[in-house]
Structure 1
Amino acid sequence: MNLKDLILQEYKTFAPNASTVVSKVLREESIKQLEEWGIPTIKQEEWKYTNLKSILETPFQLNGENGKAEGLHYYNIAAYKLVFVNGVLNTALSDTKGIEDFATLKSLSEAEPAVLQKYFNKFHPFKDGLQASNLAFAQHGVYLHVAKGKHLPKPLVIYYLADTTQGPILAQPRNLVVLEQNSSVKWIESFQSTGNDTSFTNICSEFFLHKDSNLEQYKFQQENDKAYHVGTSQVVHLEKSYSHSAVMTWSGALVRNNLNIHLGAEYCEAHLYGLYLGSSNRHIDNHTLVDHAMPNCYSNELYKGILDDESTGVFNGKIWVQKDAQKTNAFQSNKNVLLSAKATMNTKPQLEIFADDVKCSHGATVGQLDEEALFFLRARGIPVDQARLLLMQAFSDDVLNKITIPELQEEITATIAQRLHP
């Protein structure tokens, strides 16, 4: 049974007892969209370089309630903590004591109907079967609503563990985050996996930023070599809001990150950063869209990749400046280093500008380590392996330095260094 048919079959069991977070009509509409569109293929322009064929016949389990959290790595930082195992919240391992003084934190299935009507399912209307599947099965996930004038004193870390010790697992979490006026949160996601079988995470998250709010969003992907991951995040900016996103990938068999930023009011600011390390035959795909819909907004985007062995990287970044978005400042850069003749990078930066008074730029580079810099270091007695490591670390630092939590930056930097020179 292929993946689409498996999901359609599982839906028949799931739907009668599903929570009301998604109306029956919307669930049925979504599952029909999956049936019509299917799982994305390389025939679609947005999936041209990313092929999911290798998991289409995998007999995934969609009910992950029996998963165990053994082997989960926790970051050494003071933080609120949520733990999901195979897409299901583990309350025994979670600790959010005190967060209620600043925000409402619930399971998505417990979110208020009025909130859902206003904010839920506001994605750009891509014809994507995986997003349709996520919506049809939306139940487990995080609903965070930060109150007006409140600033979470600690980061919120969400750990997602895929436990495949009892067979292949498919998890489809769904998150909704709302920041009211003059509020802030540091939202950190860590994706990990255990076991020797295949896991597939298909996650969607929506963020809504009201006036003068501030979102710091970090995503660290450290799943094993049998992990497949497709993640979609949408950040909707309202007046004078600010977002800072950093996505870092250093493991997993196939990873696809979709990050969509909608600057829907004046004087909004968005920063997007990415770092990806490819080795063996890993495949890492980053798709970004920055939609400048209103005047006087700013966006800055920097994604960097280091690819070795027979790994493949994909970067597809679009800046879309609508006709009303005068005085836009938008900048995008994608830089890549290939350490092997068999490594591949497909990069496609894009600009679509329909306004006159704007400052926009984009660019992409694919090359090898700087031979002159390498010679300079070796001439001073530094061994070649150490010299290469120093250059790769310097290349990565532009993104790693964007982690604003010192203890977390130190830990992730050490992890990246270990991956670069195991």
Structure 2
Amino acid sequence: TNPMPEICGRVCPPTTCRGSCNVGKPDEPLNTSKLEAFVADYQRKTVGVPLPEKAPPTGKRVAVVGAGPAGLVVAERLTVKGHQVVVYEAMPRPGGLLVYGIPSFKLPKDLVMWKAQWLERLGVTFVYNTRIGEDLTVDDLLEREGFDAVFLGTGAEVSAKPRWEGMDLKGVYQSLDFLRRANLSPDLLPPGEQEPPQVGRRVAVIGGGDTAMDCARTAIRLGAGEVTVVYRRTEAEMPGNPYERALAIEEGVRFEFLTAPVRFIGDDAGRLVAMECVRMELGEPDESGRRRPIPIAGSEFTQEVDTVVLALGFWPDPLIGETTSGLKTHKWGLIVADEETGRTSREEVFAGGDNVHGPDLVVTAMAAGMRAAEAIHDYLMQPSPPEPEAEEAILVPA
């Protein structure tokens, strides 16, 4: 039932499926994610993955915005049901976060390219280098291009940007920009983003999620001598998965807890050389349920660094909400959509994945795509309202 087992088996935390393992009731559960990836790889390499039988053409057309996990699942499910699907992607290649966010040492990019090629053989059309909201709008897709429904699966890839002094220094990177440049060949990147990051000996990664761990492990592979993750709360409050943290520790990453940057310091050439930090203590819980970090007066100190990577969270691209008439969004740009169906405030528009619930696991976005695909199919196949009968003309004598 998993449309991308070779991908989920590699990027989902091992604990995700272990709860369903019967062996785990009397004993240690099996590592089902590794088994899933192995079986999927073995089938692909030995006998191949056959194309499913498709339903007869319905004559309905669906535009999928975003070629990430949710969008790829929607495209597959609706094509099998007989609908014509076109996927619009802003980047030069498919995959979304799978290609442009997850490091290659965790997920080989050829697996994602294989999946896209398999979908093309199934009948899905991909249109790359097209940003919806800029090159075309959702209204254009519905009114000018003639699509019957639109699915928005654009993810959450806009980095949170704090207002610290020195953010524009050479050597300060946003996490996704850092990961893209470090892990991908130039032909997979848009112009202006093709130069690899210049990593010095001392690297600091600011943040506590899985992306921070990916950045720290990538920095080690780029030759950094000392990599430190700086987090403003304690390890217990870190939002990332403990499994990812354990892998980082195994590879030599250090952690500096209850510490936050204040500003970044550069030399005369505009190159990062140090950052000023402050020690923190935990106060009362905030809206997230975690205790609020509070700076300790007089605890400031300076730490020499050559490279800083900011991994402080992500939000959806606001362009979709700003350019789509009648589409409701939350405060941070998240699209208002029904959890079970993906239906939005626009009748023909559906959404699912990180652009609805915020950054989460790949499998969570895929599940949202599967639910939305069913809802879109039901919407497309509902009986059309009957045409009003023409009233007979009544002749009135002169």
TM-score by length of 2: 0.22
**Radius of gyration: which is bigger?**
2
TM-score by length of 1: 0.22
Q: Which has the higher strand share?
A: 1
Q: Which has the higher helix share?
A: 2
Higher RCO by CA contacts (8 Å cutoff, separation 6 or greater): 2
